[in-house]
Amino acid sequence: MEAFGKKLEDTRISKGIDLDQAARETNISRRFLEALENEDFSVFPGEPYLLGFLRNYCEYLGLNSAEFINAYKNQKIQEQQVPIEMLVPSRTLSSRIFSGAGGKIIKIIAIVLLVGLLGVAAFYFGSKLFDPANREPEVVEVRTPVAYNISETDFRERVYAGDSFLLPLEGGEYLVTVESTAPSLKLSTPVGDKIIELGQDLLIDLTDDGTLDIKVFVEDLYKNNPSRGAKIHLISGEGLSAGLASQDPDAAAQGDVTVPPPSTSPSSSNQQLVLFEGGSAYPVTMEAIFRGYCLFRYEADGTNREERYYQKSEELKVQAKNGIRIWASNGNAVKIRMIAGGKTVDLELSRPGEVIVKDLRWLRDSDTGRYRFVVMDID
């Protein structure tokens, strides 16, 4: 390919983007962008920085970053001097023995002997391998799904796809089936499918009467191996009522999440925008819809940090138990929708071009004992 720095510059100019705009939208210093376009690698503090900036700049311009990184590495290899001893290989003992006419005869004899030995070995081991008397029957273990009748209020078990639970509740018996255990636990219930991530718990109203009936907590699962199942902790009946009462005396009666009246978005770190209120902290889902080019980073429950560039019309969905911290290079380029307890709230983050860092999390009100899901600015 042509000099990759020239191609970077030509692509940027063809899109009508100047270096100041590119630096602002990629959060890469202008001098580093100029160095990439001029192929001046001396200004970078190290090769990892160079490769990271080159990858991000290519993605920003809509170019294949792998192609440009390979071009840089090939150029670097070509610029390195090869030691003279590598260009003139020394002759080994074997090369001296096999050189000349006599060496050719020795080579032919060795090849004939080797082919003969391989033929004998292949015949012997092949006959053993394909002899039906020597083959062990293949055993395929098929697991039979288990149907659990939940009689106790505190149930722990490792479950697998196809297993089911029959729960006796007021008004009848309700069936919950395990649809899958990887990459998360998926349950089929009378009130729809429910998905629970590792380390999260979910309160479910099976009777659809506004009262919480069971809580399912995922203690262990293998995200890439559904055959290992998932270990769950299921609480129902009196055990669930006692657990809710210990969090909030009114939680068992309140049950659902509510959405308070709209308020003004927070303008400082001392102000909080309340999205949800509830008797307990429910798992939340964040849906991000991108309206323009944006570098977006998120961190769910203090772990699993992810970051990348998003283009217009791309979408992102993140689930968390307690909260999510987000960072965006252009807050107006992304629209956030938060979902908790069956309620949905749209959230506009900031003005065009504004860099944002916000915490979205559950906090307990010490005066009322209730939980509030709030949006907070981070300095």
Residue with tokens 């003969």: 116
**Do residues 297 and 371 both lie within one domain?**
yes
Q: What token pair was written down for 191?
A: 């009130």
Q: Tell me: the pLDDT tens digits for 209-239?
A: 767 788 888 888 888 889 999 999 988 876 6
**Do residues 249 and 307 both lie within one domain?**
no
The reply to whether 169 falls in a domain is yes
CA-nearest of 312, 303, 257, 305 to 279 is 257
Phi, psi of 125 (to 5 degrees): -70, -30
Q: Tell me: the pLDDT tens digits for 286-295?
A: 999 998 888 9
Range of the domain at 365: 272-377
How high is the pLDDT of residue 313?
86
The reply to whether 224 falls in a domain is yes
pLDDT of 317 over the 90 cut: yes
pLDDT of 13 over the 70 cut: yes
**Do residues 68 and 165 both lie within one domain?**
no
CA distance 336 to 344: 10
Among 24, 49, 79, give the residue marking a domain's end.
79
The reply to whether 261 falls in a domain is no
The reply to whether 105 falls in a domain is no
- Residue 335 near residue 313, CB atoms below 8 Å: no
How high is the pLDDT of residue 151?
78
CA distance 204 to 215: 6
Tally Cβ neighbours within 10 Å of residue 155: 18
Q: Look up the CATH number of the domain holding residue 158.
A: 2.60.98
Mean confidence (pLDDT) of the chain:
80
**Do residues 20 and 53 both lie within one domain?**
yes
The reply to whether 318 falls in a domain is yes
Q: Classify residue 54 by burial, with Cβ atoms within 10 Å: 0-12, 13-18, 19+.
A: buried
Q: What is the pTM of this model?
A: 0.37
- Residue 246 near residue 228, CB atoms below 8 Å: no
Q: Look up the CATH number of the domain holding residue 63.
A: 1.10.260.40
Question: Once rounded to an integer, what is the mean pLDDT over residues 105-130?
Answer: 77
Q: Tell me: the pLDDT tens digits for 68-91?
A: 998 888 888 776 655 545 544 555
The reply to whether 101 falls in a domain is no
CA distance 162 to 103: 69
**Do residues 343 and 289 both lie within one domain?**
yes
**Do residues 248 and 297 both lie within one domain?**
no
pLDDT of 370 over the 70 cut: yes
CA distance 320 to 282: 9
**Do residues 155 and 221 both lie within one domain?**
yes
Q: What token pair was written down for 153?
A: 């209020």
Q: Tell me: the pLDDT tens digits for 172-190?
A: 888 999 999 998 899 999 8
Q: Coil, strand, or helix at residue 336?
A: strand
pLDDT band at 248 (very low <50, low <70, confident <90, very high): very low
Q: Tell me: the pLDDT tens digits for 299-314?
A: 988 777 889 999 888 9
How high is the pLDDT of residue 117?
84
The reply to whether 112 falls in a domain is no
**Do residues 294 and 232 both lie within one domain?**
no
The reply to whether 309 falls in a domain is yes
Domain count, the chain: 3
Question: Once rounded to an integer, what is the mean pLDDT over residues 269-285?
Answer: 79
**Do residues 228 and 283 both lie within one domain?**
no
Answer positive or negative: Cα dihedral of 310, 315, 321, 323: positive
